[in-house]
């Protein structure tokens, strides 16, 4: 197949491109050239952004397009319009954050999605003429805007859109380091601050599993909406940390610190301690780590072992020039201070 990827150089997009090449598809990337990926020289890249350069795609044909970098509804609509006559299928990478209320466990694709007011949408669309958007401003509307992106693509290409909603994606080239933090921290050994309840469920997907499945779905000309994460209620925080210790053969020991203490010490869920979503502070997100992905699994989504994901994430991390610096998780001094305070009050 002839495939066009909008993006294709960062994290998921990079892995999607690799998966497409592994299946011997002819590949074209459309991106701004701000990130590099070591892909074979026979991969064509068209440099441009959606704001000004969609005309560069005119006069070409592809079997399908995979949009890994769509964030604003107006730009997804413009992209879909520019490609409506030259592709058979439009795959849009959305997010589990589209759901209006994640309190319930087991949400499926029929659950209501978040919305924004017309004023909020106007604000988002006017944020930046390059189509890029500040993380702080966009984060407040992220889910609703992703839902509107899905709808924009479907409006332009009815019955020809595949919208995939992953949750936390983990693995090599993850620029957020949310999962990488735990693999690296446990491998370092010593006393590890573990957040909240050991048996609290977590849910995520290895980026390679997601990318390979995306390509298979495109090959099959599938359409519709699919949640795309790991099996719900199979992994706990304790399971993940113990697996990190086993894979790295470290001598780490875990001190489980209560939600109440961490919140009182102004530890930020998900950022300071990735995977940690305390019920007291984030009741609206309790279902986010227990999403129903049965539809995707029935369509062939497969997940590799947790140990393999941890091992490969650690191996990748050690190859990075700045491998000692993580973008998520507690700094070592902060962790030690929290543990001292915790022990003092016990």
pLDDT, tens only, 160-205: 999 999 999 999 999 999 999 999 999 999 999 999 999 999 999 9
Do 273 and 238 lie in one domain? The reply is yes
Do 22 and 158 lie in one domain? The reply is yes
**CATH code: domain of residue 83:** 3.40.50.720
Distance CA 154, CA 147 (A): 11
Do 194 and 127 lie in one domain? The reply is no
**Taking Cα atoms as reference points, which of 227, 224, 193, 228 lies closest to residue 303?**
228
Distance CA 324, CA 184 (A): 9
pLDDT band (50, 70, 90) for residue 123: confident
Measured CA distances, 278 to 16, 19, 254 (Å): 33, 36, 18
Do 240 and 258 lie in one domain? The reply is yes
Do 36 and 124 lie in one domain? The reply is yes
pLDDT of 15 > 50? The answer is yes
Q: How many domains does the chain have?
A: 2
pLDDT of residue 132: 52
Do 154 and 177 lie in one domain? The reply is no
Whole domain around residue 281: which residue ranges?
Answer: 169-205+231-286+305-346
Distance CA 338, CA 341 (A): 5
Do 130 and 251 lie in one domain? The reply is no
Do 237 and 322 lie in one domain? The reply is yes
Residue with token string 């997009």 = 13
pTM of structure: 0.95
Do 186 and 106 lie in one domain? The reply is no
222, part of any domain: no
Distance CA 279, CA 177 (A): 23
Do 154 and 76 lie in one domain? The reply is yes
Do 60 and 111 lie in one domain? The reply is yes
Distance CA 153, CA 218 (A): 16
């Amino acid at each position: 197949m002839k495939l066009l990827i909008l993006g294709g150089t960062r994290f998921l997009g990079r892995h999607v491109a690799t998966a497409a090449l592994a299946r011997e598809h002819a590949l074209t990337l459309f991106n701004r050239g701000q990130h590099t990926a070591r892909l074979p020289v026979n991969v064509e890249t068209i440099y441009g952004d959606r704001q000004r350069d969609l005309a560069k795609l005119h006069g070409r044909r592809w079997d399908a397009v995979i949009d890994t970098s769509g964030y604003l509804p107006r730009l997804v609509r413009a992209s879909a319009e520019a490609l409506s006559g030259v592709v058979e299928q439009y795959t849009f990478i959305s997010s589990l954050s589209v759901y209006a209320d994640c309190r319930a466990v087991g949400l499926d694709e029929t659950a209501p999605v978040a919305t924004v007011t017309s004023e909020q949408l106007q604000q988002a669309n006017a944020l930046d003429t390059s189509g890029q958007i500040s993380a702080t401003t966009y984060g407040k509307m992220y889910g609703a805007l992703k839902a509107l992106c899905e709808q924009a693509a479907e409006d332009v290409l009815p019955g020809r859109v595949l919208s995939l909603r992953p949750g936390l994606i983990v693995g090599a080239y993850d620029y957020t380091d949310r999962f990488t933090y735990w693999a690296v921290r446990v491998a370092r050994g010593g006393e590890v601050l573990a957040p909240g309840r050991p048996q609290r469920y977590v849910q995520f997907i290895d980026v390679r599993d997601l990318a390979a499945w995306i390509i298979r779905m495109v090959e099959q000309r599938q359409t519709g909406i699919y949640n795309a994460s790991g099996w719900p209620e199979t992994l706990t925080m304790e399971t993940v940390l113990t697996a990190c210790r086993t894979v790295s053969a470290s001598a780490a020991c875990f001190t489980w610190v209560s939600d109440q203490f961490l919140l009182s010490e102004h530890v930020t869920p998900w950022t300071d301690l990735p995977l940690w979503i305390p019920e007291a502070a984030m009741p609206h997100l309790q279902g986010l780590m227990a999403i129903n992905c049965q539809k995707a699994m029935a369509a062939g989504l497969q997940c590799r072992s947790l140990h393999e994901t941890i091992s490969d994430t650690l191996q990748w991390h050690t190859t990075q020039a700045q491998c000692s610096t993580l973008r998520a998780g507690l700094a070592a001094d902060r962790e030690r201070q929290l543990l001292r305070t915790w022990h003092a009050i016990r």
